[in-house]
Amino acid sequence: MSESFLNMKRPVFHSFLVYGVHFAAVLAFVLTVGGCASMKNSSVKPMGQGHVDLSEVERQLKEEPDPQVNMTEVEEAAQYFEEEDQSLSAMTAEKFSKRLKLACLKLVRLEPNEEIALALFEQGVQLFEQGEYEDAADKLGWAGFRWPETPLEEDALFLRAESLFFANRYAKAQRAYEKLLKRFDSTRYMDRVSPRLFAIAQYWEKLDQIYDYHPLAANFSDKTRPVFGTFGNSIKAYRTITMHDPNGLWAEHATMAAGNANYIRGEYFDAANFYDDLIKNYPQSKHLLPACELNLSSKLLMYQGPEYDGTALKDAEVLTDRLLTQFGSQLKDRRSALIETKNKITEAYAERDLHIAEFYVTKRYYSSARMYFQLVMQDYPQTKSAVRARERFEEIRDLQDPPDHFAWLKKIFPED
């Protein structure tokens, strides 16, 4: 067994014990030499034959400093050696893993080799120029594999993806582009990868709109499409652009396209999420106005009525106010439709409070119901719900709440 393998895991206690033994040996040597020197230079004089002045020895011993051990320093040293031991073990394990992988590749004669990689790369480029894209993709894939983590691999991965794209193998091309972005996150080919992914996503999106593929229906005949989920993979391609190139030119286009694709399919929740991202992250985008309008429509379509959550209604109100204030001059004929939409949102708020009032009526809590009826009449006086609230308020004006059967308990345990 090699020395590096034996040193992969060194117990912390064993390391600290070794350091302790060395420290004790050095300390014993220093004390021995210091003691001999002090005895040699001692000023004690013999009183007679075989006698020593013991009082002088005691005085010298009392003057010697009492050695103290600083436990804080000991603990800090132990922690330092423990951290050092763990980091060294991790580094050794990583090196061992790489060496093991390299040994396995050597067994099958596929170890990294720059000369072979360059030869494969040149063959791939020649095949690419001749239009033999699938054969070129195969050669370029092996070229990147034989010389990893180098600019050669980056070039090979990009040209392999391009070969698959021109061979109309869009699913494999998508995975090849994603592999390039994963291996080289800041690749110099980003400005060419993003439009390719956008084109693939657009193609799959249009196909799905025409044929309405089921997400679980397997595809084994059309090599331009993925095996499963044509629409889902198109959205994934859009997301890849926004994740790896958020500040690029194609990021805002991909976000808007993904929102529109979900809106057309009736996936209003997902569409609203994409529109929200565009509004928040790209405030200077040329898609901002249509994104706000479509987002408003998505929020209103997401709202399911007074019995459900009102978050979408609140977001719709914010978007309406923003459109009227920020884009008032660009709306033109749509301004009147937006004002009508705002009135409908106000009516929906009134319906929510009216629904709560009716709930209290069914439970015979008439005082609470009258409070909500009054709230509707005061806050939304121009709505149809206000007319209904006024009628219902008159109907239950003189009705009393049911008796409180636990009044005695409140006297025993007052709220104060």
Would you state the pLDDT for residue 332?
85
Between CA 251 and CA 145 the distance in angstroms is: 30
CA distance 25 to 5: 30
* Residue count (the chain): 416
pTM: 0.73
How does pLDDT run across 356-379, given as a tens digit for each residue?
999 999 999 999 999 999 999 999
Q: Does an H or E element contain 62, and which?
A: helix 54-63
pLDDT of 219-237, one tens digit each?
Answer: 999 999 999 999 999 999 9
114-160, pLDDT tens digit by residue? 999 999 999 999 999 999 999 999 999 999 999 999 999 999 999 99
Q: What is the mean pLDDT of residues 28-55?
A: 45
Instruction: Kindly give the pairing relationship between strand 51-52 and strand 46-48.
Output: antiparallel
DSSP string, 98-142: HHHHHHHHHHTT----HHHHHHHHHHHHHHHHTT-HHHHHHHHHH
DSSP notation for 140-198: HHHHHHHS-SSHHHHHHHHHHHHHHHHTT-HHHHHHHHHHHHHH-TT-TTHHHHHHHHH
Which is more confidently placed, 34 or 133? 133
| Mean pLDDT lowest among 173-177, 228-232, 399-403 | 399-403
Least confident of 120-124, 400-404, 406-410: 406-410
- The domain spans of the chain are 1-37+79-111, 112-167, 354-416
156 within 8 A of 140, measured Cβ to Cβ: yes
Phi, psi of 51 (to 5 degrees): -115, 145
Q: pLDDT grade, residue 58 (50/70/90)?
A: low
Task: List, for residues 265-291, the tens digit of each pLDDT value.
Answer: 999 999 999 999 999 999 999 999 999
Q: How far is CA 60 from CA 42, 50, 183, in A?
A: 9, 20, 73
Query: Mean of the pLDDT values across residues 376-392?
Result: 95
Is it the case that residue 97 has pLDDT exceeding 80? Answer: no
Q: In the chain, pLDDT over 70 holds for what percent of residues?
A: 78
